[in-house]
Structure 1
Amino acid sequence: MRKDIMERMKLMKKENIEPNYAELARIYQCDYRTVKRYFESDGTLKERRKIPSKLDDYKEAIVEKLEMSCTYMSIFKFIQKRGYEGKYTILREFARSIKIDKTNKATIRFETNPGLQAQVDWKERLSMTSRQGEVFEINVFLMVLGFSRMKYLQLTLDRNQDTLKSALINGFKYYQGIPKEILFDNMKTVVDQSRSNFQEAVINQTFYEFAKDMGFAVIACRPYRPQTKGKVEALAKLMSRLQPYNHEFDTIDQLDEIVRMLNDDLNTDLSYATNKVPSQLHKIEKEYLLPLPNRELLDNYLTKPITRVVTKEAMVTYLNNKYSLHPNYIGKTVVLKIHDDHLDMLSDGVVITSHRLSSRKFNYQKDHFIEILKSEAFAHKSDDEINRIAEKNLKLYDKL
């Protein structure tokens, strides 16, 4: 007997609430007739004798793997290694019943009205190689509107919260408006406590304030529920279109242009989900989007400087790679600005040095390295000796 359903029905009777059998069946993952039977009973339903199944100990794991879109056979092999001795057909019949229920829930929840919802995700740590053989590790921010399937893609070099906010704002400008709610998975930049079966997600306070300023509600997606963000994950698969451009670009800026071109292509292709072109449906959807906030508020979120404290080694770290400065700046705070494939470092508003962005772990300029050597144990050596030591060590760093 389902005591949870029985107690719910007793409460609804007490409050004179007419139940929605279909909705309750979805919540309790049972047939609507089961809910109806409990509601119409006098509270003394006879408990049916439960026939044990070889599958009983594995049902929770099966449901979890189904929600991860695993095939029946792969799940069968998985639970066999964990002691399941039953037949494949038993699993298949159980899995089919779960699959049907899961599909219905996803369809009902996520076929959205115009302007209601967008979904966000990242294509993470994608390695792309330039014509010169330099490897760039990039991320691609992905946002898609639920009704039109209009996509916004943006190349980023990190996935921190400021980058996420900037990408969202750029997406809102691209869409010419803001959806009423945005669905995220449990990104650490969005939630402080992940959502699970037992607790609701706790939204990061800083991000909550940003969302409130923009006017959208934050919806945290439960982990291991891929159907709840299927539109974005389907889009992530389309990022395979980027792979043919390996060895076809020279700079990070050119790679950014390729991502923008890909974005335009995706929005003018026919969507399999709607059988429509996203850019055409967007003409309808944008009328339902919330208006953009005032420019001053947007600019405030877009112009926050990136700062670093110069280490004792006269280095600053950007995207896990180190870049050198003159040792006079050790202990001081500098501002980083990225443009045209270069990293500029500023002190008091003045550019003090500039590096080309690189995938190398250590990036020294020769004059910086020489000054560092002079300030350490090599101060007693001649300039020629220090110069030779610097050249030798810089060659070693280039090989790292």
Structure 2
Amino acid sequence: MSMRKDVYERMRYFVLEKIKPNYSAVARQYDVDPRTVKAAYLKAQSDKTSVVRKRRSRRSKLDGYQDIIEDKYAAGCSARSIYDFIVEKGFTGKYTIVKDYCRRFRKAQTKKATIRVEHTIGLSAQVDWKEQVTMTDRNGVSHTFSIFLYILPYSKFKFLKLTLDQKQDTLFKCLFEDFKATVELLKRFGLIICRLSLNIN
């Protein structure tokens, strides 16, 4: 059975960001079995390991600089500016090597499957958890918590809440609070529209 690309890409993001996913939550979001999500996560981990091994199999002057180049190029930097930057970091290769690498990276990014979802205003939202985040306070005491994140994709409005677990009751409480925040936002937005309308008239 072929793996759904949207689920795989989501798990690939989790692997790259070093986030441990909640299989059940992601499964509900994509309407798939949690085992499918776990399989996609394990495949994404395996693919990343294969890429790392392949890079290490042959020595190149770019070794140690690939991640920097990819990050800078993805951020919109030119090959020349990237070359100048890594030269300051100790790179001894030629500019053409960097230019060619940027070209190959661009082609690889273009070939990746991209799934676009059209969002209707006010009818869709994205919910996610960042689980088991541990931080240490000034007294050396560790605190472990999770982060509930709710995003309205059209306006990019975000609602974030710290929680101590990911239980269903906690999820419903977070959803209730973010719905309430969304309603308040819409009320304020509606008031602004009314005032603008009165000023125009």
* TM-score bin (small chain): 0.3 to 0.5
TM-score (norm 1): 0.22
Larger Rg computed on CA atoms: 1
| Larger helix proportion of the pair | 2
TM-score (norm 2): 0.39
